[in-house]
Structure 1
Amino acid sequence: MTSPMTTPTEVGPRPTRSERLDRLPFNAQHRRLLVGSGIGWALDAMDVGLISFVMAALAKQWLISPTELSWVASIGFVGMAIGASLGGLLADRIGRRNVFALTLLVYGLATGAAGLSTGLAMLIGLRFVVGLGLGAELPVASTLVSEYAPARIRGRVVVILEAFWAVGWILAALVGYFVVPASDDGWRWALFIGIVPALYALYVRARLPESVRFLEGRGRTAEAEQAVRTFEAPSGVAAVESPEAPPAPRPRWSDLWSDGLRTRTAALWAAWFGINFSYYGAFIWIPSLLVSQGFSLTRSFGFTLIITLAQLPGYGVAAFLIEAWGRRATLATFLVGSAVSAYAFGQAGSEGAIIAAGCALSFFNLGAWGALYAVTPEVYPTFLRGTGSGSAAAFGRIASILAPLSVPWLLDLGGSGLVFTVFGVAFALAAVASLALPEWRGRSLA
């Protein structure tokens, strides 16, 4: 007969390590992981954002044509497409933390070296290397955080991680506003600042934990148990003995298109393609487009800074709605809002209309990014999570390559109005695709 003092966990099945993590309240260890990964994320965003200001400065200093400028923007995304695909696969094979640290080191050093560029060819070559590191870092960081976050708030935590992107882009806008116009070498000093991620990589490698699910899949159960206990300690949770997890199968890209996964993979890739095309097409070119409309370099950078600030409330609202409404509804709503805002920006004629439509575009677009990064790791099982997230990001980077290249052609064809109408259509198609994604709110990761 069971004693009245016996608890259900004593007589029931032992919880797995993943279940123990899902039941924890958000504590100091979660906060350390979130902030530590978020700083890397912000540095990534700063690097991507800086190139838009560098482009506007080089157009005047080096007399670069719009087509040449588009290659400066797009070549980084070629590297990001390759980096995202390879980085995700490596994360499933050698670990999330190791790949995260390596990517920070690669793109930090390459960004600093780009500041020494003596010509367009050298700058383009180094931007490709920068892209390799940047592309691999983002899906790996979101995968690591999602695998530690408690199930009931996992989406919100990942959106908050994505909100660090706005912090990095604001830093880029500040550097662009104060440093780039300060002298003829201002763009070089801006890129030298981008070497900071290489230094931060040392902290990441030493202080951030490896994924418990990855460690279990590789048979490193002692390390996995220690990691779980480290996260349980701040909440005063007594350690229990978890059953051994089965070894993980070897990840393969072909698994993404197996029965049960091919529909969600297709929907995810379509959403990534649409949002990448419109986001990078718009935000990489906005400073240069404003300059071409007659605004001074400093004034166009000031407009961009104001527009960028609207990203933060977009993330905040998305972080709330993603657990209240769910992933699909939040993502689709913010993508529709992005589509409407993109069209309005293309029709804006006055300074007030430009700023209002730009702020709306920032608000909805970055909220959509937060929701997309929250749902992406949830689509796949643990052994395939890094590969799946990286492959979706890689496919999206194809769009980010094409978008900057298409802007000069679209401008010649129909001006800014046509450019942002096309971006609006891409957002709308991404919204339709998002409705086919699975809803994982409140559920444990597979």
Structure 2
Amino acid sequence: MVNQQAMGPAAVVRSAIPARMDRLPWTRFHWLIVVGLGVSWILDGLEIQIVSSMGGPLQSPHTLHLSSSQVGATASVYLAGQVFGALIFGRLTDKLGRKRLFILTLLIYLFGSGLAGLSWGWSALLVCRFIAGMGIGGEYTAINSAIDEIIPARYRGRVDIAVNGTYWGGAALGAAATLVLFNESIVPIEWGWRLGFFIGPLLGFVIIFVRRTIPESPRWLLTHGHADDAERTLDQIEQRVAAEGVELQPTRPDEVIEIVEHPRLTLWELAYVFFEKYPRRSFLGFSMMATQAFLYNAIFFTETLVLIHFYHVPTDHTGYYFFPFAMGNLLGPLVLGPLFDTVGRRVMIGSTYILSGVLLLLSAWAFHAQILNASTQTLLWCVIFFFASAGASSAYLTVSEIFPVELRGQAIAFFFAISQGAGGVVAPYLFGHLIGGADNPNPDRNPLTLGYVLGAIAMVLGGVIAVIFGVDAEGKSLEDIAAPLSEAAPGQGQQPQ
């Protein structure tokens, strides 16, 4: 698929950049990457949690006086913006680079969310939420690509999983903020919702100065015709590492790869790579993303309804049950993440998916038997999502490391769009329907029980597929997992580097 012009054979660049990146020890430089780039998920969790709690204030005559359907539409528009942003900026990050896009997408988010706090009506709010969603969706593609390409192979799994899990740290912060912002005895109702939209931008504005010091991915530079820039960038990284007293070992001759400049992929060529060259991996990515998204959105978007309708928790008390739920989701990736690098991807992905599915089956039985109360139901959710959160984060890790560098951003975008379509649209609507109306003091538990069983089966199935089709990527260079499309064919001319 390499384009060779009439000028003659494409020049070959020989480089050890991937091996040099992977041999680096963990240093302050890598912490800079985690902090500067990982904040994206915190921002998303913060955004969704604050806005999901904003329904009451936005319906007040003292604010925008929205209807329930209009409030729901703002959430849908935000998710639609995420999908659109991921697809657009995923393609651009593969074309223009990781750094340009993780600066641009953060600026777009800052602009959209900040303007949302100044909205004068529903239509303006919708536009702003769509823009903010575009920024966060683009963040997912550029950030996951950059993290996987810069973090050394032996740390890549735990870092990616932990960073994705920090979404729940942001959600917990958002829940804490709502206790103040939407308490009319502290903040007037006409100001609380506006201030809520400013919290994320304030955090993002600080982080953008950190991101300016993060270099472009040397792997992206190497495979996009910028080999000299790639070498200079990596030299600077190694100098920063050496300044911390680290002595770097030389690379071996067999670790050198040969690269030719590769043309931009057309959509047809993308389809070829996904469905002809890597059909098993595409099936794996689709299965993992869709099943975890279905489970997550089914529980997350209906948790409050379940507490109110079946356990009669007052509406203004449901937020207290969210904190342990968020902590379970946050601790899972942090505690289990290192095992994805040591025990291995296939074993850990399969076990976290299957175990969370089995536990959900147990929860479904207990829910139907009416032996739970609000506290024990929340405790069960905490345990389930301790494992499910690590599994869900591993889905993002998987789709970002099993495809070639030239289409990594687009692969993340493609499967992210699928997950939002399967989980973000279908699951909340389905489970909301299964819960039923609020006017029944003793709602029927059978429909929701069947829904939980369906979600459990989906997770178990996703785990089985991961065991069968999984890729043993732990500790391996990205180039060993999926060879670059720009890798030189045997016998091409060489240009020493």
Flag whether TM exceeds 0.5 (same fold): yes
Shift of 1:110: 1.5
Cα distance in structure 1, aligned partners of 2:109 and 2:426: 22
* More displaced stretch, 344-353 vs 43-52: 344-353
Mapping for residues 351-390 of structure 1, pairs under 5 Å? 351-390=374-413
Change over 3 Å in CA distance of 1:112–1:285 after alignment to 2: farther
* More displaced stretch, 164-173 vs 335-344: 335-344
Residue 246 of structure 1, aligned match among 250, 255, 260: 260
Change over 3 Å in CA distance of 1:143–1:363 after alignment to 2: same
Question: CA offsets per residue over residues 17-63 of structure 1, 9 Å max, x none?
Answer: 11111111111211211121112331222113322222465578857
* More displaced stretch, 14-23 vs 98-107: 14-23
Which residue in 2 is equivalent to 1:37?
A: 37
Shift of 1:239: 8.0
Which residue in 2 is equivalent to 1:443?
A: 476
* More displaced stretch, 121-130 vs 29-38: 121-130
Structure of larger gyration radius? 2
Query: 2:37–2:211: 8 Å Cα contact kept in structure 1?
Result: no
Shift of 1:418: 4.2
Change over 3 Å in CA distance of 1:353–1:63 after alignment to 2: farther
Cα distance in structure 2, aligned partners of 1:125 and 1:171: 25
Residue 216 of structure 1, aligned match among 222, 235, 241: 222
Query: 1:318–1:371: 8 Å Cα contact kept in structure 2?
Result: no
Change over 3 Å in CA distance of 1:286–1:144 after alignment to 2: same
Residue 300 of structure 1, aligned match among 318, 335, 358: 318
SS of residue matched to 2:265 = coil
Cα distance in structure 2, aligned partners of 1:335 and 1:36: 30
Number of residues paired by the alignment?
433
Which of the pair is proportionally richer in helix?
A: 1
1:431 and 2:463 equivalent?
Answer: yes
Query: 1:221–1:244: 8 Å Cα contact kept in structure 2?
Result: no
Q: Which runs of 5+ in 2 are unaligned?
A: 1-13, 437-443, 480-497
CA-based RMSD: 2.8
Cα distance in structure 1, aligned partners of 2:342 and 2:250: 32
Which residue in 2 is equivalent to 1:338?
A: 356
Cα distance in structure 1, aligned partners of 2:454 and 2:180: 32
Which residue in 1 is equivalent to 2:490?
A: none
Cα distance in structure 1, aligned partners of 2:123 and 2:307: 26
Shift of 1:114: 2.4
* More displaced stretch, 411-420 vs 315-324: 411-420
SS of residue matched to 2:260 = coil
Residue 427 of structure 2, aligned match among 403, 406, 418: 403
Shift of 1:88: 1.5
Cα distance in structure 2, aligned partners of 1:56 and 1:415: 28
Shift of 1:136: 1.5
Mapping for residues 41-440 of structure 1, pairs under 5 Å? 41-55=41-55, 58=58, 64-65=67-68, 69-182=71-184, 183-185=188-190, 186-196=192-202, 198-200=204-206, 202-203=208-209, 205-233=211-239, 234=241, 235-237=246-248, 245-252=259-266, 253-293=270-310, 294-343=312-361, 347=367, 349-399=372-422, 400-412=424-436, 416-435=448-467, 436-440=469-473
Query: 1:307–1:355: 8 Å Cα contact kept in structure 2?
Result: yes
Cα distance in structure 1, aligned partners of 2:360 and 2:277: 35
Cα distance in structure 2, aligned partners of 1:58 and 1:339: 36
Shift of 1:371: 1.6
Shift of 1:150: 1.4
SS of residue matched to 2:478 = coil
Question: CA offsets per residue over residues 362-421 of structure 1, 9 Å max, x none?
Answer: 312211122222222211111121111221111111121332333332223955434433
Cα distance in structure 2, aligned partners of 1:295 and 1:108: 35
State, as a whole percentage, how many aligned pairs show the same letter.
26
SS of residue matched to 1:310 = helix
